[in-house]
Structure 1
Amino acid sequence: MDKRMFHPCDESVQATNDDASECKRSAIKLGYWKDDYIGYFIKSTERKAPEINRGYFARVKGVEILIEKFLQKTGDKCQIINLGCGFDTLYWRLRDAGHMINNFVELDFPTVTSKKCYFIKRNKNLLSKIYVEDEDIRFNPTDLHAPNYHIMGVDLRNVDEVANKLKQAEVDFTVPTIFLAECVLVYIEAQNCTNLLKWFSSQFQTAVFVIYEQVNMNDRFGDVMLSNLRSRGCSLAGVEACITLDTQVLRLINCGFSGAKAYDMVQVYESIPIAERNRIERLEMLDEGELLTQLFQHYCIAIGWVGDLFQDVEIP
């Protein structure tokens, strides 16, 4: 019997990948940050509001800060596992920065990974970066396996399926590993999310888990955000972990992580070097700063770690 779980909102959740990719491309086209690869996955997009562009800048830079701190500790002898990867281009950007990560694994719904595999297969600039001389690249409609890059379709609510996919990707549970989950866990029912996080914390000896998602969802602004998402068919099944920064931390601690921290995006944005903030703030004028502040107050980055190596990794 097929154990794959189907939910009415799955299609809407998968569509959030297109939304996020379009928002990133909008900001990139305006010069918020450099990404030579997003255009291979998303061709054209309308210009987004300045608050959206700046919000995505803070999101991307906040996660980058933590990845850089991780790599400073591990070098390239590590693993990156990108959950709900969508059309993220991190692998290629890291290659351009001179990093050859031991094993880079991307997981998402099969409908999303099939599209990403298609784009990779048909574009030599993407394909050449994952090619290693005298090594094969294996494809099927939803999965791609290269020597140090794997993308696979999976239902993250099914731990057995996730475990099987990581085995196919030859993931080493003893190697330092960073997990990335940007707006992913919030769409997973609490018990399924708990099962997944507990499995990760119990299997990996040394790891850091980075979450980007909503927070402070119990106020009026949070209610409006929830209503907007529900109107698009997205029920935030895991929203109870998004009530406060403390609930974000407790979720990780209760799932077996050695320690955890959480920061709202106001703190994250203020941690970005002032020269970089000044540069991007000159790209577009905000009609008013209040909306951006409210958005920043309702998103966060949470970090959980296993072992001692990453206990001092934090947003500055």
Structure 2
Amino acid sequence: MPRAGPPRHGERRPRLPPLRRLRAGGRRGYYARVHGVGQLLKTFLKKTECNCQIINLGAGMDTMFWRLKDENLLPKKYFEVDFPMIVARKIYTIKSKPPLSKPIMESHSGESFLIDAHSLDSNRYSILAADLRDTAELEKKLKTFNMDTQLPTLLIAECVLVYMTPPQSASLLKWAANTFQAAMFINYEQVNMADRFGQIMIENLQRRQCSLAGVEACKSLDSQRERLLLNGWETANAFDMMKVYSCLPQADVRRIEGLEFLDEKELLEQLMQHYCICWATKDRCNLGLSSITF
């Protein structure tokens, strides 16, 4: 095993095997993703003084609701949407683990609590099953669980749009831009996929029977911004994850980097230059959403 800490004088540090180097870079990328999305989200909450709603599209097993509750930053309502199988798995996990179910009950008041195999609805938190490719169905189900189109709304999609065809993702983006008085959309996914590194990523995924139906919009940061602007958003920004990583609190970055040595900085840069965070705003209420950045 490689020895931890700096090498002795004249000693060459053992190089990590390629897979470990890739995983080390991936962990830093995941750190940048979580904290980058979280930073934009918390700035939105401050701009709206938490008088807003959040809709997490394709939420999976995300734990943001619990983190926000711990920090006393809950919006008026937090929605999660995913396919029925994912929703059923998450609801089962919540029901079977008191540390997850208790915070939901603590934030609930009244008797209108609903939970079954494919939906959960409380005052502050809802999970529902819907197909994001069908915006009419999506809107109908969200309104059933008291989505308010007059409230400032933050929509989050992490590695979601890239699995939809361009017309399908355009329809979702257009629906979000046209439905709410004031809104922000955060999208995390691949970028710069037209170069050789991007092509290798696509080929590797195809070998695993995983097709990126929406990769056309992931050619560049410009194509990511253009998609948002063409579908009704007033402002659009896009940073690759290397840029996001450089904008995060440097004390935290140094702490993370100190936990695991990585001697292939070029690999980290390549990975991070092929993922991005994009965000767009539409602000009919003049809340200053267009000024949100890292």
TM-score with structure 2 setting the length = 0.89
* SS of residue paired to 1:72: helix
Distance 1:88 1:274 in 2: 25
Which of structures 1 and 2 has the larger relative contact order (alpha carbons within 8 angstroms, sep 6+)? 2
* SS of residue paired to 2:154: strand
Query: Which residue of 199, 212, 217 corresponds with 2:188?
Result: 212
Question: 1:138 maps to what in 2?
Answer: 114
Q: Which structure has the larger Rg over C-alpha atoms?
A: 2
1:312 aligns with 2:291: yes
1:202 CA displacement: 0.6
Distance 1:165 1:233 in 2: 31
Task: Give the number of aligned pairs.
Answer: 270
Question: 1:80 maps to what in 2?
Answer: 54
What per-residue deviation string (whole Å, max 9, x for no partner) do you get for residues 142-176 of structure 1? 11111110001111111111111111221111111
What per-residue deviation string (whole Å, max 9, x for no partner) do you get for residues 237-280 of structure 1? 11111000011001110000011010011110000111111111
Q: Is the 8 A contact 2:186 2:279 kept in 1?
A: yes
Distance 2:123 2:51 in 1: 14
Question: 2:251 maps to what in 1?
Answer: 275
Letter in 1 for 2:88: S
* SS of residue paired to 1:62: helix
- Structure 2, unmatched stretches of 5+, are 1-19
Cα distance, 1:200–1:133 mapped onto 2, change above 3 Å: closer
- Structure 1, unmatched stretches of 5+, are 1-45
- List structure 1 runs of 4+ shifted beyond 6 angstroms: none
1:69 aligns with 2:69: no
1:265 aligns with 2:245: no
What per-residue deviation string (whole Å, max 9, x for no partner) do you get for residues 102-128 of structure 1? 010000111101100100111111111
TM-score with structure 1 setting the length = 0.83
1:136 CA displacement: 3.9
**Equivalence map 1:2-81=2 (5 Å):** 49-81=23-55
1:133 CA displacement: 4.2
What per-residue deviation string (whole Å, max 9, x for no partner) do you get for residues 214-245 of structure 1? 00000010011111111222211111110000
What per-residue deviation string (whole Å, max 9, x for no partner) do you get for residues 31-81 of structure 1? xxxxxxxxxxxxxxx9x8211111100000100110111111012211010
Question: 1:202 maps to what in 2?
Answer: 178
Question: 2:211 maps to what in 1?
Answer: 235
- Percent identity between the two aligned chains: 45
Q: Is the 8 A contact 1:265 1:300 kept in 2?
A: yes
Distance 2:132 2:158 in 1: 13
Letter in 2 for 1:188: M
Letter in 1 for 2:103: K
Q: Which moved more, 1:99-108 or 1:206-215?
A: 99-108
